[in-house]
Amino acid sequence: MNDKKTDITATIVKLLEGEGFSPRAVEYYLKQINVGRIKEPSASFVFTGPCGDTVEIYLLIKGEVIEDAKFITTGCSASFCSGSALTEILKGKTLKEAEEIEGEDILKHLGGSFPAQKVHCVHLVKRVLEEALAQYRKKHSKRVDPK
Ligand code: FES
């Protein structure tokens, strides 16, 4: 049984590397880093992209700092490793720093090598973050009394 699992994992690794995924992207995909939900998140957002896949993001924010980040995706291997990379990048970042994260930062974190036809999955994950942060800002913006 374990030999069979090892064979399947080796096959998946070979396929992903053959498609152009970096070793770190493959590792994130296999280990499912930060996949899951945060029970009482400070911010969250669910979005279905044009490819038909849905990504959910959950953030735990204390003051201006993101203390924890998790995600779930119904999407492909690229969305899994992008979600893992993004949530790893987010931990310890201020809201402002999080708002400045670009798709390039996610790709760089993943080690640079990434299939060109899967870059849209990186942008899908980033879009979900942007919406979660925008909603959080809106909810927590101080209302100025127009007196
Ligand atoms: Fe939809 Fe990758 S194809 S998330």
Average pLDDT over residues 25-47: 97
**CA distances (Å), origin 122, targets 18, 24, 106, 129:** 19, 15, 7, 11
Please report the pLDDT score of residue 3 as a whole number.
Answer: 86
Q: Is 78 in the pocket of ligand 1 (CB under 6 A)?
A: yes
Distance from Cα 27 to the centre of ligand 1, integer Å: 18
Q: Distance from first CA to last CA of the chain, Å, rounded?
A: 72
Distance in angstroms (rounded) separating the CA atoms of residues 55 and 57: 7
Which amino acid is present at 111? G
From the CA of 133, how far away is ligand 1's center (Å)? 22
Mean pLDDT of the chain: 95
Give pTM, 2 decimals: 0.93
Confidence at residue 144, expressed as pLDDT on a 0 to 100 scale: 58
Q: In sequence order, what DSSP letters do the residues of 108-127 get, joined into one string? A: HHTTS---GGGHHHHHHHHH
Structure tokens at 20: 């152009």
Sorted by where each starts, the structural domains of the chain and their CATH numbers stand as 2-140 (3.90.1010.10)
CA of 53 to the centre of ligand 1 (A): 6
| Pocket of ligand 1 contains residue 132 by CB under 6 Å | no
Mind giving me the DSSP string for 46-82? Answer: EEE-TTS-EEEEEEEEETTEEEEEEEEESS-HHHHHH
Q: Are 70 and 38 in contact (CB under 8 A)?
A: yes
Predicted confidence (pLDDT) per residue in 93-143, tens digit: 999 999 999 999 999 999 989 999 999 999 999 999 999 999 999 999 865
Other C-beta atoms closer than 10 Å to the C-beta of 90 total 23
For 76, half-sphere exposure in the C-beta direction (CA atoms, 13 angstrom radius) is 15
With a 6 A CB cut-off, is 81 part of the ligand 1 pocket? no
